[in-house]
Each structure stands twice: as C-alpha cells, then as structure tokens.
Structure 1
C-alpha cells in the first residue's frame, strides 16, 4: 500500500454515524466499497486481503463500519436498517467534494455482501465483489437468499469457502446470476489464516477483471 493515503471518515446516516475506513492510492483506478459481516470484524481475513490486493492494484478501497458497530452494539440490525445506513455512506463517498472515482464496485463479506446486492441498482454500481455470500442460514438450506444474489450487477464475483456452512460453492452455482464468476477458496465461512495464499490468488484474479 505504498503511497496510498489512509483516513477515516464519519458519515451521518438515518441509523446514526457510520465510519468509512478509506485507503486511496494517488491515482485510483476506481473505488471498491466493502461492508463487514453481522458479527462485525473489520479485520476478517477476506476483507483484509481484498483491501490489500486491490489497493496494490491501484483501486481505492473503503471498508464501511455500520452504525450499530460504531455504537458498540453486539448485534446487527435488521436488513432494512443496514441498507438504510449503507446507501448514504456510499453516496457520500462517490459524490460531492473530495469524491472517490468511479467505476464503483460494491461488496462485502456475509451480511455485507447481501446489503451490497440489495442496494447495487440504487447506487448504480458497476460491479460487485461478494465474499462468503450467505446463501442460507447454517443447516437451513430451504431458507434461501437466492433472490438477493440475483440482484448482483453484471459483472460480479463471489469468493466462497469450499466448506462454507452458509452455502458451499456447489450450492451457489445453481443460483449465480448472469455475469457472476464464482471463485472457490479452501476454508469455511470465516476463513482461517491458512487460506491467505488462496485468497490472495483469488482476489488477484478478480482485480485483473474489474471494470476499467
């Protein structure tokens, strides 16, 4: 991340203040905005590797800390409240004074990936990066969230653990919308440290396919 500028912006939302953790190269090729999962964890391995790889490839990367986490709560709000906070944060980042450049790639891990899919059209996102997409709750394959995945823009990329209890790559394959590429990485829903090399490889491949 040599030469990249790092800063934290606090942005007002209807759900309270959110924090945008921005890492921006001098001449950014575009912007990737990522959300965290329902358990918080801004330092989740897949988020950290995505930030590292994409910044090194010249993209501005923002990890958004949802208001519930900023407020110190331990439980995420309901999906509509997450969307209500996410949209104004992304809009503030890519419009107005000091805006980050397009193309705009939205995404995140787990619950953050769901938020990105549901709001991609409203934000006019150019693409999506979905990490550990939770197709269904563990042990409940009948409670599908395929309708949310179907909202992902074209193109999109899903980076999924081979043993993800929220939906394996094999399960996801049947529901991938047009223009979505699935990359399988050894690991579960929360990737262990040993998955780092495979994540670096997968996200380097994604970086090479992002819209110019």
Structure 2
C-alpha cells in the first residue's frame, strides 16, 4: 500500500489564522449531539469528527478543520461523544470506550444521508482513536478516516503502543501530526501507519505539539488538502 509523509510549516497564506467561519446548526436527537456545517450548494461528502479526551465538539482544532472542509464543499458534523454528553468535564473512562464508539456509529448513521458522496469519519486524539477502532471493527462504517494527533502511546511510554487494530483498517487514511507531539514521534507514527492496509497520507506540521495550533499554523488547510487528494480523489490545481 502507499504510505507517504508530507512535511509542512508556514506554506499557506493562512498560516496564522484559519480563514473560514461557516454557519452551523445544532442536532440533538437519537442520542447524537452535533454542530453541523453545510456548504453552499451540493455537498461532495460528509465528515463526522469527534473530540479529544479533554474537549468537546467546540474544540478549536475541530472548528478549524471543519470550517476548512465545509468551505471546500463537505458537510461536517462535530459531535459530542457519549461520555461528554453525560458530563461537561473530565476525561473518558476506559470502560466507556465501546459506548463512545457506538456514539460514533450512531452519528455516521444519522448524517450519512446529508450527501451522496463518501462519508469520512475521524477526530482529534481520543476521538480519532475511537473512530479508527470503529472502522477497524466495521469496515463498512465509512469510506475514509481522518485522524488528527493520533495518540499512538501515552507520553513517555512508547512501550504501550496503541496499534493492535491498525492492520484491520481497510479505508484510505489521513493522519495529521505535530512534529513535537509527545504521544508519538514522527518515526513511531510512520512505522505504525505502515500497519494500515490501505493508502495513508501523513501530514506532519513542524514545530507544534498535540494541539496542532491551528490558529498559528496552516493545519486546517493542509488537512483539507490531504482529504481532497487521498479521501476524495480530487486533484488540486
């Protein structure tokens, strides 16, 4: 399979801010809570994004990426995972991880009909990890996977790799990673991505950590570029 890394620093004109502020509506039904952003005109696909362990659907990184993807013609749903629906603060419990994956599945089912194009699922850190596990468990869940700051191992504990499910992922995958992220070194992430049995693009943002700093780096634009090329098959002009 094709695995390659794109390294980028200040290469876009929006390097110090994300430019889009797309309107949104809130969905709260069927156990799914989400902020939904729709483009003007027909949508090219749907993206469902879940937040990290300490955040919620309003996290800066999710909003930045969602704004950019919506501006490029995608419907984007930023969801609150089930553990966050139950309590406004605090980390997830390992015992609730399966329920969080069920929440991701429910959101995919709710929003898949928003467009005729592909459905992409993913998220930041913990949310992305649970999305990747859901895709590994159910290959028909989504057509592509988008992971920002995948938490490959706890900081300082490279002996505790979270890679067991990666060989079961069979959909094209984009991974956006900060070069100084303590949850994975660039080399560790590249080695882990090679386990995925589908095309993978790693987008490495230089001199940033786990939060990917989208207000000062071109994180959102570079993420959307990779989504366009790898997950949607759109050629950039």
8 Å CA contact 1:11–1:20 kept in 2: the answer is no
Cα separation, 2, equivalents of 1:194 and 1:29: 26
8 Å CA contact 2:26–2:36 kept in 1: the answer is yes
Residue aligning to 1:21: 35
Residues 1:117 and 2:132 are matched in the alignment: yes
SS of 1:89's equivalent in the other structure is: helix
Residue aligning to 1:145: 162
Residues 41 and 168 of structure 1: is their aligned pair in 2 closer, same or farther, counting only changes over 3 Å? farther
Cα separation, 2, equivalents of 1:182 and 1:125: 19
How many angstroms does 1:134 deviate by? 0.4
TM-score of the superposition, structure 1-length normalised?
A: 0.85
Cα separation, 2, equivalents of 1:185 and 1:108: 17
Residues 203 and 196 of structure 1: is their aligned pair in 2 closer, same or farther, counting only changes over 3 Å? same
Q: Deviations over 1:19-65 (max 9, x none)?
A: 12111123100001110011124343332221111111101111111
The 4+ residue runs of structure 1 with deviation greater than 4 A are none
Paired residues, what number? 203
Q: Which sections of structure 1, spanning at least 5 residues, go unmatched? A: none
Match of 2:83 among 42, 47, 68: 68
Residues 1:48 and 2:77 are matched in the alignment: no
Cα separation, 2, equivalents of 1:23 and 1:184: 26
Residue aligning to 1:200: 220
TM-score of the superposition, structure 2-length normalised?
A: 0.77
Cα separation, 1, equivalents of 2:182 and 2:91: 20
Residue aligning to 1:180: 200
Q: Deviations over 1:143-195 (max 9, x none)?
A: 11112333434311000010111112221101112311111013111233564
Higher relative contact order (CA 8 A, sep 6+): 2
Cα separation, 2, equivalents of 1:193 and 1:159: 12
Residue aligning to 1:154: 171
Q: How large is the RMSD of aligned CA atoms in angstroms?
A: 2.2
Cα separation, 1, equivalents of 2:214 and 2:128: 21
Cα separation, 2, equivalents of 1:29 and 1:126: 13
Q: Deviations over 1:46-101 (max 9, x none)?
A: 32221111111101111111122223242323321211222122112225xxx443
Residue aligning to 1:211: 232
Residues 1:80 and 2:94 are matched in the alignment: no
8 Å CA contact 2:32–2:80 kept in 1: the answer is yes
Residues 32 and 194 of structure 1: is their aligned pair in 2 closer, same or farther, counting only changes over 3 Å? closer
Residues 55 and 41 of structure 1: is their aligned pair in 2 closer, same or farther, counting only changes over 3 Å? same
How many angstroms does 1:112 deviate by? 0.8
Q: Deviations over 1:106-165 (max 9, x none)?
A: 110001111111112524311111000000011111111112333434311000010111
